[in-house]
Amino acid sequence: MTTPTSELGRFAEPSLYILVSLSDGPKHGYAIMTDVEEMTGAPLGPGTLYGALARLERRGLIEALPPDDRRRPYRITGLGATTLSAQLAHLEGFVRTGLTRLGGAAR
């Protein structure tokens, strides 16, 4: 897939959570759900997880690996890592602006 990251649009939280989870190595669905809950404090249901995995795979941001026993692991692709980096940089700027404005309003 050669789509520039700017054309991939905005990401819903579950997709970002999954990409962050996979950024440190391949995981199967249950491991992703556990990791996301540890990161966010909120569970990610199986319907949300597998719907997001299918969308991310269609966009070329993750890929399914051969099954390991009855579990199917996924890994982030190069495009997925580049896209995640761009999305996190955008969010970082947004958060910085929000905190600055909030700090200015609190004075």
1 falls within a domain: no
5 falls within a domain: no
pLDDT digits (tens, 9 = 90+) for 72-87: 999 999 999 999 999 9
pTM of this structure? 0.84
Query: Is the per-residue pLDDT at 104 higher than 80?
Result: no
3 falls within a domain: no
Which whole number is the average pLDDT over 19-32?
97
Which pLDDT band holds residue 68 (cuts at 50, 70, 90)? confident
75 falls within a domain: yes
The number of distinct structural domains making up the chain is: 1
Asked if 33 and 43 count as a contact pair (C-beta separation under 8 A), the reply is yes
Instruction: Give the mean pLDDT of the chain.
Output: 89
Give the count of alpha carbons within 13 A of 5, CB side only: 16
pLDDT digits (tens, 9 = 90+) for 45-57: 999 999 999 999 9
CATH number for 55: 1.10.10.10
**Whose CA is closest to 81, among 40, 22, 37, 34?**
22
Query: Is the per-residue pLDDT at 3 higher than 90?
Result: no
Query: Is the per-residue pLDDT at 95 higher than 60?
Result: yes
Asked if 20 and 84 count as a contact pair (C-beta separation under 8 A), the reply is yes
4 falls within a domain: no
**What whole-number percentage of the chain has pLDDT above 90?**
80
Domain span at residue 41 reads 11-105
